[in-house]
Amino acid sequence: MSVSEAQHTLAATRTKLRELRFKTASGQLKDIREIREQRKIVARVLTNLKLTNQK
């Protein structure tokens, strides 16, 4: 994954995570586990970006 793709994925995932949090607050979200999965994706992408920048 290139740096630009990773940044695009990171932005999209953070937007989805924000929407999930709003749905949780309003009581519309049924599957709370989805928030955990999105957080893991963000962590993976950030780790990948950090390792790419160290090279």
**pLDDT tens figures, 33-42:** 999 999 999 9
Give me 4's structure tokens: 């630009």
For residue 55, pLDDT beyond 80? no
Calpha distance 42→31 (Å, rounded)? 18
Q: What are the tens digits of pLDDT across the range 2-17? A: 889 999 999 999 999 9
pLDDT of 26 above 90: yes
Could you tell me if 18 and 35 are in contact, meaning their C-beta atoms sit under 8 angstroms apart?
no
pLDDT confidence tier of residue 47, bands split at 50, 70 and 90:
very high
User: Domains of the chain, with CATH numbers?
Assistant: 3-54 (1.10.287)
